[in-house]
Amino acid sequence: MRYYVSGAYVGDRGIMLDNEYDRFNVRIKVDATLSKKVKAGINISPTYTKKQKATSNFMDFYRTPSWMPVKHNEVTSAITGAPIGSYAYGSQFNNKQYTGIDPITGKERTVTANPFSTANHNPRMIMDTDKRYIDEYRLNTSSYLSIEIMKGLEFKTSDGFNVSYVEDARYRDRDSRQDGITNQGAYNSALKIDKYVI
């Protein structure tokens, strides 16, 4: 009898927050000589994968003004009226009075402005309040049976199956992406089984 056992782990962290991938897999292979003319073997390979998906993409960070903090400080709190330490986002700065020097006249001028055209919240707030996790379980197996009927003539059969089960869970806090959006939760699962015989 011959056997082989191996295992592996892969861990990957992306450049963005909440972009994580972990995979564990094991492989077991056994070959046995049952008699002078009969051989059999089995191969089992289970895998578990855990992913955390980023819920905001890179472009959202790129579009966010560099001067706007993730959470309000004393200056932005004074402009918007939002509490210090709460998340800052574009629409809070709309319909506010801003005072500055007019580049044409050189005189001080106060205007009511809407510097942002989006109702979306800042991407870091979205990532902190919107989470998505994917768990995937896989099992691949195969086996064979070989019988020597006579010299030079052999009968061989093999079969196997692949099982895949995926769970996808997501949760969003209230006002996660925009004001007025209720909290949400979603859960999906899928089971797939493939079998073959040769």
Provide the domain count of the chain.
Answer: 2
CB atoms within 10 A of CB 176: 20
Residues 52 and 77 in one domain: no
Q: Which residues pair with 112 in a beta bridge?
A: 97
Residues 130 and 192 in one domain: yes
Residues 190 and 174 in one domain: yes
For the stretch 13-65, pLDDT in tens is: 888 888 899 999 999 999 999 888 999 999 999 999 999 988 888 888 888 87
Residues 133 and 184 in one domain: yes
For the stretch 111-159, pLDDT in tens is: 888 877 777 788 888 888 899 999 999 999 999 999 988 888 889 999 9
Residues 24 and 43 in one domain: yes
Residues 131 and 193 in one domain: yes
Band of residue 180 on the pLDDT scale cut at 50, 70, 90? confident
Is residue 63 situated within a structural domain?
Answer: no
Q: What is the pLDDT of residue 113?
A: 81
Q: What is the pLDDT of residue 10?
A: 95
Residues 12 and 28 in one domain: yes
The answer to whether residues 159 and 105 touch, using CB atoms and an 8 Å cutoff, is no
Q: What is the pTM of this model?
A: 0.73
Q: How far apart are CA 46 and CA 136, in angstroms?
A: 11
Q: In what order do the strands lie in the sheet with 153-172?
A: 2-13, 20-33, 38-53, 130-150, 153-172, 184-197
Is residue 62 situated within a structural domain?
Answer: no
Is residue 93 situated within a structural domain?
Answer: yes
Residues 88 and 7 in one domain: no
| Residue 135 tokens, joined | 């768990």
**Full residue range of the structural domain in which residue 93 is found:** 68-120
Residues 188 and 150 in one domain: yes
Residues 104 and 147 in one domain: no
Q: How far apart are CA 131 and CA 96, in angstroms?
A: 32
Q: How far apart are CA 127 and CA 77, in angstroms?
A: 22
Name which residue leads in pLDDT, 102 or 138. 138
